[in-house]
Structure formats: C-alpha cells, structure tokens
Structure 1
C-alpha cells in the first residue's frame, strides 16, 4: 500500500467517524383529557384488560408508518419509550376506567390488587398511520365473565386525524383512536355486567 493510498484511507475513516446518527427521540401514548368520556353509569365489576396482541409488523421499538399501499417505513430515529403492547394495554385500561366510572380496572399481569370479575382480551388487528394523514386502529375483543356465561365479542375500527405532521402527532392520534375503541369496549363490558 502506498503512502498516498494509506493517507486517503485514513482520511475516509476519519470522515466516517465524524458523521454520527441522530439521537433517537422517544414517544409514549397519552390518555385523552379528563373531561373526555364522562361515564353514564358506574360499573360495579372489576375489569382486567389483557392480554393485548398487536400485529408483529408494528410490535417493535421503532415507529412504523405506512408509506404506500404495501410498504412501510421503520424509523430508527423515532422509537417507543416502552413496548407498544404495554402502552396500548395501559391506555385501554385507563380509558375503560374513565368510561365505566370505576377505578377497578387493571392491566393483566400487573400487581394492582384489582379482582377481575370480567376479563377483556384485545387483538389489535390493524394499527397504522401516515405522516400528515390519519391514524387507523382496528380491534377485536372478547369479554369473559362467569365460567357458565358465554363470552361477548366485539369489533370496531377508529380513525383519528393527526394533529400535526410529525411523529409526536402520530402518538397523539393513536391515543385518540384508542379512546374511540375504548368506548366500544366499555359498551360490551356494560352488557356483560347486566347478564
């Protein structure tokens, strides 16, 4: 190797070391304001939310956005602060507590001491967003109560407009869409309580 080639190689390595990837930004799902969703009648049963399942394509630390009909962008620079599955379960439980007017709602697998008279298993079958567009959430759920009572099932889709054109707006819109889904789940829980 000539001295000139060696110097060029060293210069290239030095330049490569100067460029660094941007520091990742972290996001969480937020609950809607306390004024949203005033309960019409208080639930008496304890409710446990979970397990919650997500599509594998979005069940990752990076935010995943729809970029075309059959394409997505996975961003290493924009990440969830905690596992998305845990956040969705926590947000659904908090929304259900607000909708049902009871603090007796917990997340499956947590040590809250809430006895679960009813169990709500949720399968998020679609969770997608487009920057500058909408967030879409579609969910199936099953509410199980007494062993001799048949379970109740539900399905709903929700769409929320992103309040901006950045990744923070994606997290906010997902929270809004999950609040809409929670209203539908709460209606099923009320039906299960009346049986």
Structure 2
C-alpha cells in the first residue's frame, strides 16, 4: 500500500506545482509630448543632433528600479523598459525638441560626421527616481553647442506627481519630466537664433 501512495502523492504535488505560474512581464516606453498646433517654424530650418545621453548605472537596466525609502530601492523583475532607457530618453528628447523648436530637423542618435551647422546636445541624467503611486523625478545636466558661439550649459530638475499607483502613471510622469528638460534645452537653442 505504501508503494502506491508515494507515487500518487508525487503526482498530486507535481500537478499542484505545475498550476502555479510566474507573473507575466509588462513592457513600457516613454512618450513625447503632443505636438503644438500652428506653431511657427524657424526660418531657415536648423539641425539639432543629440550627441550623447548618459544615465546612472543604477537605472541602466531593463527592470524598473523603485525608490522605497530614503536609502532603499527595489528592482521589479516584471515591470520592464521595452528598450534601453538611454535610447528611450534620446528618442523622447528628440521628438520633444522637434515640437518645441518647430521646423527643426532633430536627430536622436549621435552623428559620426561632425556637422558645423548643427546644434549639438549632450544630456547627462544625474538622477532618475521612480516611486510608484507617488512621483517621478529627474535631475539632468545638459549642454547645447551652437554652430557659432559659446556652449550653453544648464541643469533641469523636474519632479512630476504620479496620478495613480500604476506603472502607466509612473511612466507618464517621467515623460512629462522629460518634456520639462526638452523645454529648457529648446529655450537655450532659441536664445541663439537671431530674429
């Protein structure tokens, strides 16, 4: 009788264990601000190239890194960026700059050929904080090198509330924070364009 019970027990335990599945991963992307309607284009059109974007090593990973306390973070294995955060930031900044400087030709990838007519933008993300259900915050040092004249540098600190405890709301807050960065960079670019 014992020899029959042991295999039956093992089959029952394996079928119970087989029913449990791990959560499915969800993938997220940052998004650009909506385009401005009827904004006048710059004449003549200017070229803007985002040469480099750096992000802190802590968040340079597919998983979301969430702030849970003053000195503690958690890494969520099931909430992930769809592509590298550095690439997403570059893409969103390029789209936001194209919106903020109408008519500009903006490239989100480093150009190997040195164009003397392009505005060169470098972005160093110093801090990229995520607190689900609370806020998204970023601190960015940036520089704009115009075709003529001195390089303009600046720092943008953006803190956006999350409208809900979902990851969608957190990603939306980060997208709004990046729009603030783009607006500051666009302001620096516009300041060098003559009337």
- Answer yes or no: same fold by TM over 0.5: yes
Distance verdict in 2 for CA 1:139–1:170, change over 3 Å: same
What's 1:168 paired with?
168
Q: For this pair of structures, how many residues does the alignment match? A: 189
Q: 2: CA distance between counterparts of 1:96 and 1:189?
A: 10
Q: Which is greater in Rg?
A: 2
State the Cα RMSD in Å: 2.7
Equivalent residues in 2 for 1:60-139, closer than 5 Å: 60-109=61-110, 117-139=118-140
The corresponding residue for 1:140 is 141
Residues 10-50 of structure 1 deviation map (CA, whole Å, 9 limit, x = unaligned): 654444333221111111111122248x8577274200013
Matched, 1:18 2:19: yes
Q: Which residue of 2 aligns with 1:53?
A: 54
CA distance in structure 2 between the partners assigned to 1:88 and 1:132 by the alignment: 22
TM-score (norm 1): 0.84
Identify if the C-alpha distance between structure 1 residues 110 and 164 changes in structure 2 by more than 3 Å, giving closer, same or farther.
farther
Q: How does 1:28-47 map to 2 (within 5 A)?
A: 28-35=29-36, 42=42, 44-47=45-48
Unaligned runs of 5+ in 2: none
Distance 1:54 1:13 in 2: 44
Asked whether the 8 Å contact 1:46–1:115 carries over to 2, the reply is no
What SS does the aligned partner of 2:123 have?
strand
SS of residue in 2 equivalent to 1:125: strand
Quote how far apart the aligned CAs of 1:190 are. Answer: 2.2
- Tell me how far 1:189 sits from its aligned partner: 1.7
Secondary structure at 1:155's aligned position in 2? strand
Distance 1:193 1:35 in 2: 20
Distance 1:127 1:21, change over 3 A: same
Task: Give structure 1 stretches of 5+ with no counterpart.
Answer: none
**1:100-137 CA deviation, whole Å, 9 max, x = no partner?**
112401112479xx986111010011111211211101
